[in-house]
Structure 1
């Protein structure tokens, strides 16, 4: 019965159905929750629009199928019934290695205990189906591939059914599937493993019928990740672990200042190190030069590099100094720049309250646990790369240019990566290009075999790309009720996309859209926002949650300060500003408030509440935190998260992403979480002087999601932006001092 089936649904779906039942009770004596009644109520509430992508029962493809729609590229079924799903993204901790197979397996009706996953390549089949390029970024993996993987699973299922129907000489419409079997009405069954070979010979159906979400058995259920055992036991192979016959390892001596060139090279001592096979000059990113030491292992390559005696020509490149740069940024912040928002600022002159604030955000390193690496094997036919990359198509094309090959002669085998946070998605393909340059130089020097180029932690922190340094300046006029009359705002910071393939689409009217995302919304503010993008000799790149790393902090701390100044509760103030225009923000914040006990539970002496809510990458995360100050240092005790990311594929993944993002967000607040430069050189080199949050600093954290049946949105990044402002708002209530700098300064 339909009513009985409800008990098998994931809790989030049951909650929604129960809520609908309360609004429209079933008449006495009638069958509980008849299917027709469910659909009527679902449609009436916006829960299931027939044309909406999530609940569409038939795919809408009419044109010939694209490579991204072919099951043969994504599904392999072995004779024993094992189903291997190819993932079209990089897995670097965000959980797509499990979530995407869950989506496909749902429509395939696979036995989940027999499902495995593997990563793809730069083959056109594994491009983002909406963007048409290979990309893992912007928290789009599930958002863009949800329907793709549903349809792939449904097509593969239809082909299995067709194969069984042909063998039994039955009408496919009379067959059903369940847990890896095709079953006839008379009870006969064939396993997917028995049918796999015949199924692959069936024509691929251009249109398929998708499941009603009420039939979901995998989507929405807390599911252990497929890579959990390997990672927790130390058996997972990452890009840095690639070992091939005859492989060499290379380390590169890089210039101390970005873009510098070699003046003199004395490599005699390096060549004398046991295990060193070659010392070669190579071109590097941004016009720089370096020296590659190639050896039979990492340790001799490192020893050889340390033995080099190099002098550098830095005369032609800018030598950035953080203190001088801050002074320049502050001066720019007093002047209007390129205009993004425009509003009348006349009310500022007569506003009852005027708040002026300056915010300073430092450069940040990505600092993934697995440093950058790329292994290159050259053959007479082309090249193969083993690399953890977010953009295998772009990197493959860059490799082809360096190696003098056609793009189709380069195969990129995507490897699992130990973090990245944006560092493995570089428009210049810097670390891939350098690895190819080293492999080419090694071949020209007579050295055969694959070459693995590895970055040390110091290489990564001193010579990589960074989250840009920013200065914000705000001048806000508001009345006694907290109504904002005028908000004048200036942002100063380098453009991430200028000079890249993304510039044309991302820079509008002189403003890099990544720098202003998160400004103003969701609040109905009369804002004038202008932006300066100075050119600085520091390479910059997106960093987890991109512009929201600084805009969320500015917006949420200033909103909180206006509420405090006018004697209003910060939650009530935000809710009033949301009105009825932002139901997802309201739902996420209310969920965090309800689950935290905010306003109902007394906190221990010396603690205060902090609140923030922010939308990024189409998902909303609200935090209610408890914080204190101990021995002059900020302490975060507890975090309660309310998350609205629409339909949750795997609740465990969402929970893990919010936990990790919150800890990373906490790290931004702690002393030492900054990259600084002096005389053009980065002053930090490793975790001893570049602070990241550690497990001992992890607060108690609870993650709650708002039930939804809307198509899923991203969760790799949205959990980070609101953590720091929520923490800062709690500290401001404790100390009476608003936080204006990152990392926090309580002095």
Structure 2
């Protein structure tokens, strides 16, 4: 690979490295390692470490600790990103220790978990930093020997000169730390990788399976109390009055207070996302000795709530979004050619409307956070995807300097976008400031499902024109709650493949809070578009795979820089999926559905196999092919692929959250349906091998899963699904007495 030029001093090296990390939405982790055969002790806390730079500590015996600044939500960055540095440092992975860093805005920027961008954006900066650190260690050893650095080689944390003399990294780290940063370093050619591309177990796996404290719910300190919050029962309601006499008399209850004034002040000023996630209502807080005692006392509080006349409508009806689809108040995101003219000249027109409900995030670990606020500092600990934003907002809320905030991140038991919105951090900070004690705020499952930010309800209308056997126009319209947060993606497939192409959006305002949900804006759009393309192929009487491949052919060689996907890479995953899934070659009784999609910079194709059991279709297998460039950690990649597919299948089949008068109708798993163990299909994963830079993987396999299943259900039942969840329409699940041909 090419030589990278760097012109900066050591302090700039540290500062620029951190900027590359945080500014690029990655968890920046730096490494070095041990001498061959050296076995670092299990407890490295007692070793005498020397700071090599802001990210690395190397002990004199070669043991290394690397601080991982970015939040870990199960996406594997705490394992995969260190592998990038370890590769270029030329160290033994088995001798690398990783620790979660704290929020540090001086050395890191934008410590964030979200968007499936960590590996993609950190690919070159992280490797370049590792290579630079390695060269500095080599230079230190060369100076010690009195030889030219070009005479030295490295292997697994040991430097060797032309005479065969060796020095471990730990032996030269003190000298290396004060050397001038080299201006040019060379990155490895992928064919020489030793760590990248090999399976590495999660660095936290032993602690996870043995129950060691890692998660926010595990965190405890001496003298800590627990808090549970009574929030409005419905969106659009505010607190009028409450009676806490019975609750105060219950065992373990220490105090009951009212909060919300500071949040309301910031909401009025339009600061941050206070209005969105905090609402405008006061809340009642129970402080108790244990979580259970706080939860039980909260249930004993008698509160009255009234409508907030200043708020938007909280009710949501299907006809509101349909009205938007039929209206004219649209924002056009992309317009190619003249769709009206193409539709007027069409031989055939296909038009369909697709609908999806609100969805909660349902993280396994409910929202929780710790706070202790003194005159000296604001101490925050817990699971949050946006620690810097949370710290800044808390400091602003309390009128303190953000430098007073000391925020420690724990591992998260799921995020999926919910922990981007740090309302629970603001709440616990306000509580701690009021009671002047260390306190842990814990949501119940009911709190989690009723006081959340939800995937917005959406409707898509897709219309296509067919002329002389070709697709001549394509019009995609979206109506969503709060603009689906980010709006449609107008430059994904089939943008560029159809001459007359238009994408329009409209939104309906509601107090039902909406936000990012795993694979934002594509998690349902992929189902709509890929279901539509299957039906379009049927209408045109052409092969569904060929239709997609032919359209992709039209994009090749395009000069349209707006196009974000690669037609060649998309065609490749389609062809591999057809081959690996045995498409069209399955025995009678196996019904297949296909989908291909690009999002988060990765190309994915999936085939669902459905069989009939007891008269009902059952999803038995998903074959998934992914092109995400170079795979850093195949073991972690497979975990992400399978998790995304299962999540996509489960929510397409069962996920449904409705509201009545602003109140969520499902408050726990007794009414909210998730996929069950016995319903999980076999996921067969295939990763395209190439030397292209890595792209996203935490989210891209979820969007096409629902479409592949829907198309397979059509093959099995003869019925098309245009709404999710599919299980909501049992009449469409009925399989004909005489089975269809798969």
Q: Same fold (TM over 0.5)?
A: yes
Aligned with 2:549: secondary structure?
A: helix
Distance 1:236 1:569 in 2: 54
Q: 1:647 to 1:152 in 2, by over 3 A?
A: same
Cα contact 1:89–1:141 (8 A) shared by 2: no
Cα contact 1:639–1:702 (8 A) shared by 2: yes
Q: 1:75 aligns with which of 35, 49, 56?
A: 56
Cα contact 1:351–1:477 (8 A) shared by 2: yes
Distance 1:382 1:204 in 2: 36
Whether 1:651 and 2:625 are equivalent positions in the alignment is no
Corresponding residue number in structure 1 for 2:542: 568
Q: 1:708 aligns with which of 675, 690, 707?
A: 690
Corresponding residue number in structure 2 for 1:733: 715
Cα contact 1:62–1:207 (8 A) shared by 2: no
Q: 1:432 Cα shift?
A: 1.4
Q: 1:461 Cα shift?
A: 0.7
Stretch of structure 1 that moved more, 429-438 or 461-470? 429-438
Distance 2:136 2:540 in 1: 65
Q: Deviations over 1:710-745 (max 9, x none)?
A: 111110110100000011111112222211001012
Corresponding residue number in structure 1 for 2:739: none
Cα contact 1:121–1:412 (8 A) shared by 2: yes
Q: 1:246 aligns with which of 200, 223, 229?
A: 223
Whether 1:391 and 2:375 are equivalent positions in the alignment is no
Cα contact 2:488–2:505 (8 A) shared by 1: no
For residues 146-157 of structure 1, what are the structure 2 equivalents within 5 Å? 146-157=123-134
Q: Deviations over 1:532-551 (max 9, x none)?
A: 11111110101111010121
Cα contact 1:87–1:120 (8 A) shared by 2: yes
Corresponding residue number in structure 2 for 1:678: 660
Cα contact 2:487–2:505 (8 A) shared by 1: no
Distance 1:712 1:397 in 2: 32
Aligned with 1:208: secondary structure?
A: strand
Whether 1:547 and 2:521 are equivalent positions in the alignment is yes
Corresponding residue number in structure 2 for 1:368: 363
Corresponding residue number in structure 2 for 1:602: 586
Q: Deviations over 1:559-604 (max 9, x none)?
A: 11111222222112211111162001011111111111113x2334
Q: 1:589 to 1:303 in 2, by over 3 A?
A: same
Distance 2:60 2:402 in 1: 35
Q: Deviations over 1:610-631 (max 9, x none)?
A: 1100000110110011113445
Corresponding residue number in structure 2 for 1:586: 571
Q: 1:273 to 1:201 in 2, by over 3 A?
A: farther
Distance 1:516 1:533 in 2: 16
For residues 104-119 of structure 1, what are the structure 2 equivalents within 5 Å? 104-119=85-100
Distance 1:224 1:314 in 2: 52
Cα contact 1:92–1:416 (8 A) shared by 2: yes
Corresponding residue number in structure 2 for 1:4: none
Q: Deviations over 1:9-58 (max 9, x none)?
A: xxxxxxxxxxxxxxxxxxxxxxxxxxxxxxxxxxxxxxxxxxxxxx3332
Cα contact 1:657–1:715 (8 A) shared by 2: yes
Corresponding residue number in structure 2 for 1:412: 407
Aligned with 2:79: secondary structure?
A: helix
Distance 2:3 2:443 in 1: 49
Distance 2:117 2:16 in 1: 16
For residues 261-340 of structure 1, what are the structure 2 equivalents within 5 Å? 261-283=238-260, 285-316=278-309, 317-318=311-312, 320-322=314-316, 325-336=317-328, 337-340=330-333
Aligned with 1:145: secondary structure?
A: helix
When normalised by structure 1's length, the TM-score is 0.85
Q: CA RMSD in A?
A: 2.1
For residues 153-302 of structure 1, what are the structure 2 equivalents within 5 Å? 153-235=130-212, 237-283=214-260, 285-302=278-295
When normalised by structure 2's length, the TM-score is 0.85
Q: Deviations over 1:420-443 (max 9, x none)?
A: 1111112xx312111111111112
Q: 1:521 Cα shift?
A: 3.6
Please list every run of 5 or more consecutive structure 1 residues that lacks an aligned counterpart in the other structure: 1-54, 499-511
Cα contact 2:472–2:498 (8 A) shared by 1: no
Q: 1:313 to 1:708 in 2, by over 3 A?
A: same
Corresponding residue number in structure 2 for 1:43: none
Whether 1:347 and 2:342 are equivalent positions in the alignment is yes
Q: 1:472 aligns with which of 444, 460, 463?
A: 460
Cα contact 2:523–2:702 (8 A) shared by 1: yes
Q: 1:586 to 1:521 in 2, by over 3 A?
A: same
Q: Deviations over 1:322-374 (max 9, x none)?
A: 4xx21111122112322223332223234222222111110011111111111
Corresponding residue number in structure 1 for 2:269: none
Distance 2:551 2:281 in 1: 51
Distance 1:61 1:232 in 2: 45
Q: 1:86 Cα shift?
A: 2.1
Whether 1:642 and 2:625 are equivalent positions in the alignment is yes
Q: Deviations over 1:185-209 (max 9, x none)?
A: 2222222233333333334445433
Q: 1:385 to 1:525 in 2, by over 3 A?
A: farther
Distance 1:525 1:175 in 2: 58
Stretch of structure 1 that moved more, 608-617 or 162-171? 162-171
Cα contact 2:238–2:308 (8 A) shared by 1: no
Corresponding residue number in structure 1 for 2:602: 619
Aligned with 2:412: secondary structure?
A: coil
Distance 1:347 1:104 in 2: 53
Q: 1:184 Cα shift?
A: 2.2
Q: 1:525 to 1:723 in 2, by over 3 A?
A: farther
Corresponding residue number in structure 2 for 1:142: 119
Distance 2:163 2:93 in 1: 25
Cα contact 2:594–2:608 (8 A) shared by 1: yes
Distance 2:587 2:294 in 1: 55
Stretch of structure 1 that moved more, 189-198 or 711-720? 189-198
Aligned with 1:711: secondary structure?
A: coil
Matched positions, count: 663
Corresponding residue number in structure 2 for 1:693: 675
Cα contact 2:324–2:507 (8 A) shared by 1: no
Cα contact 1:265–1:309 (8 A) shared by 2: yes
Q: 1:288 to 1:79 in 2, by over 3 A?
A: farther
Q: Deviations over 1:245-267 (max 9, x none)?
A: 22111111111122532211211
Stretches (4+) displaced over 6 A: none
Q: Deviations over 1:460-495 (max 9, x none)?
A: 1111000100011223221463x2222333210023
Q: 2:650 aligns with which of 667, 679, 685?
A: 667
Distance 1:339 1:419 in 2: 35
Cα contact 1:257–1:314 (8 A) shared by 2: no
Q: 1:309 to 1:701 in 2, by over 3 A?
A: same
Q: 1:441 aligns with which of 410, 434, 437?
A: 434
Cα contact 2:113–2:386 (8 A) shared by 1: yes
Cα contact 1:260–1:289 (8 A) shared by 2: no
Distance 1:604 1:82 in 2: 59
Q: 1:632 Cα shift?
A: 6.0
Cα contact 1:92–1:419 (8 A) shared by 2: yes
Distance 2:484 2:318 in 1: 21
Corresponding residue number in structure 2 for 1:65: 13
